[in-house]
Amino acid sequence: MDKNVVEQNYQKKPSSDGSPGLFRQLVQIPVIVAALGYFVDIYDLLLFSIVRVQSLKDVGVSDADMLPKGIYLINIQMAGLLVGGIIWGILGDKRGRLSVLFGSILIYSLANIANGFVTSVDQYALLRFIAGVGLAGELGAGITLVAEILPKEIRGYGTSLVASVGLLGAVLAYFIADLFAWRIAYFIGGGLGLLLLLMRVSVFESGIFTNAKDSETVSRGNFLQLFASRSQFLKYLRCILIGLPVWFVIGILMTFSPEFGKALGLSEPIVAGKAVMWEYIGLSIGDLSSGIFSQYLSSRKRVLGLFLLLTTILVVVYLYVPFQSAAGFYTICMGLGFGVGYWALFVTIAAEQFGTNLRATVATTVPNFVRGSINLMTPLFLLFKDQIGIVNGAALLGALTLAVAFLGLWKMEETFGKDLNFLEK
């Protein structure tokens, strides 16, 4: 069947009697493949955090160097995400969304297989950087493709489904790392990615991008165009600011959860991998919920504001409400995950803010700049921790990230139901 005919079938509106039409439109190959791609992406992205201690011990890192070497490798991976975000974003608008989906998964799959063979920190660092570059392209390209293929009336359902399924990759990573040696866990992640490449053969480019590509008068994937005017730059900056609390929760509160558990006086030690797993379960539920709420309220901004408010409350609970058990602590971790479960909504908003010739650039760079912000948050957290203690230091950093997120949301354009068939001049 001709691909244009197939895409028209994707874009039919739901049937008036309800659900079969909606369900059929959502459970289509591009949506399924984007969701599975993000699932593998999250598995590989978080696997190092889960196997950090054992893998570093096996390559000869002492207990005294465990934390600094771990932070170093995480920062190297995040640097790869920053570089990759720009590269894949530009390629997504110049060459197409599919080129990014194929290229990024091939690079990070091979890099993660190679991670299973490392014997030194230097090798580990190089491969985590390469993996970071590859991992940077998956979410933005997937969300952009799904947003452009689905009808605007149900776009929020589709992007939320992609993220909520994808985020469960963190849960699989935890169980795989628990069942197998860390080297095998890397091999499994890389193998899953290579298998996914076979599914992507049947995915096609969005018609909106194809039409834009045919226009020879419009510049595509020009990253510097985002800084061409004050209004354009502020619109782009707002997209980044609203996502910062997500990575504050993931990169600070969850990564250092054992230290927070100790500071809060818990007798039972907290396992970082388990905290991350429960947080990502909450994040997956939150992503699905925020998408449904935004459809119900016909608003992206109002739902994002509600989730930011919920996150603020839960950060206070996490840091200042005494827990009686590790189970209670993990429950709050899941609650925090739900609170920052606007990740898909945040990337969807970024994609909807800009025209087709810049959409992949924005949707790919924005989440990776947010992920890369951990390189600023970590030294700030350590500085605050030394000055006012670990709990109050985290509270101060959390207040800063939430304040700038609310500031970014303040004058952001409402994009619910927006027609995406437009270009940035």
Tokens for 289?
């919920």
| Structural domains of the chain, count | 1
Tokens for 182?
């860390």
CA 166 vs. chain centroid, Å, equals 9
Asked if 82 and 133 touch (Cβ cutoff 8 Å), the reply is no
Quote the domain boundaries for residue 321. Answer: 25-204+223-410
Which has the closest alpha carbon to 83: 144, 128, 20?
128
**Does 20 reside within a domain?**
no
Which has the closest alpha carbon to 55: 70, 40, 45?
70
Which has the closest alpha carbon to 360: 214, 207, 237, 223?
223
Calpha distance 323→257 (Å, rounded): 13
**Does 150 reside within a domain?**
yes
Q: Which amino acid is at 425?
A: K
For position 153, what pLDDT does the model report?
82
Query: Is residue 195 within a helix (H) or strand (E), and if so which, with residue range?
Result: helix 182-199
How does pLDDT run along the chain (425 residues), one tens digit per residue? 344 444 444 444 444 444 446 667 777 778 888 888 889 989 998 898 888 888 999 999 998 888 788 888 988 998 999 999 999 999 999 988 888 888 998 999 999 999 999 999 999 999 999 999 999 998 888 899 888 888 888 888 888 888 888 888 988 998 999 899 999 999 999 999 999 888 776 677 777 888 777 766 778 888 999 998 999 999 999 999 999 999 999 989 998 898 899 899 898 899 888 898 899 999 999 998 999 999 899 999 999 999 999 999 999 999 998 877 899 999 999 999 999 999 989 999 999 999 988 999 999 999 999 988 988 998 899 899 999 999 999 999 999 999 999 999 999 999 998 888 888 87
For position 19, what pLDDT does the model report?
45
**Does 8 reside within a domain?**
no
Calpha distance 32→58 (Å, rounded): 37
Residue whose entry in the numeric block shows the structure tokens 């298998």: 195
Please provide the size of the chain in residues: 425
**Does 137 reside within a domain?**
yes
The CATH number for 386's domain is 1.20.1250.20
**Does 423 reside within a domain?**
no
For position 187, what pLDDT does the model report?
96
**Does 238 reside within a domain?**
yes
Which has the closest alpha carbon to 87: 185, 233, 221?
221
Which has the closest alpha carbon to 300: 169, 425, 182, 412?
412
**Does 66 reside within a domain?**
yes
Calpha distance 111→131 (Å, rounded): 5
**Does 382 reside within a domain?**
yes
Calpha distance 114→193 (Å, rounded): 13
For position 21, what pLDDT does the model report?
64
Which has the closest alpha carbon to 350: 286, 293, 281, 408?
408
For position 118, what pLDDT does the model report?
95
For position 101, what pLDDT does the model report?
85
